[in-house]
Amino acid sequence: MNRHTITSGAGTDFYGGFPVVAAAGGNYSFRLGNSLGMSQAERARYYIHVPVNASDYALQYAYAVVFEDPNHIANLQPKFQIRVYDSATGMELVCAGQEYVAGANTGFSVSTVGFNIWYKPWTNASIDLSGFAGK
């Protein structure tokens, strides 16, 4: 239920109080997940093509994260991952990804709503794709 949602408008996140739409991201944002537990998992894929003649190229994006920390063993904790793959080889660009696991992470704060909820408000990031022209 509501596990993939397009957000718009001036609302704020219930747990973190940050806007539901990234400030510099336009009129819409994409939310994965919901406020229910029960071992749910979501995934979104976004494909880009680096122009053939691009010598310097970067993907710029904004993300926000809200986690419940159920204090499971590490490999069963909720997590948020960003992974980048080379479309020509199918290989992951290991240095280009990010991963956050539920619990205390740099840049995360404890929510005043709910129990053991951690959040990170909208954060701008980029992935350097220089050297991947035409892929």
Tens of pLDDT, residue by residue over 51-70, are 999 989 998 989 999 888 88
Q: Which of 15-24, 82-91, 108-117 has the lowest mean pLDDT?
A: 82-91
CB-CB contact of 114 with 15 (8 Å): yes
Segment 73-111, tens digit of pLDDT: 888 888 888 888 887 788 888 777 888 888 767 788 999
3-state class (DSSP) for residue 96: helix
Beta strands in the chain (DSSP E): 4-8, 28-32, 58-68, 79-82, 98-101, 109-110, 117-128
The predicted pLDDT at position 1 comes to 60
Q: What is the model's pLDDT at position 38?
A: 65
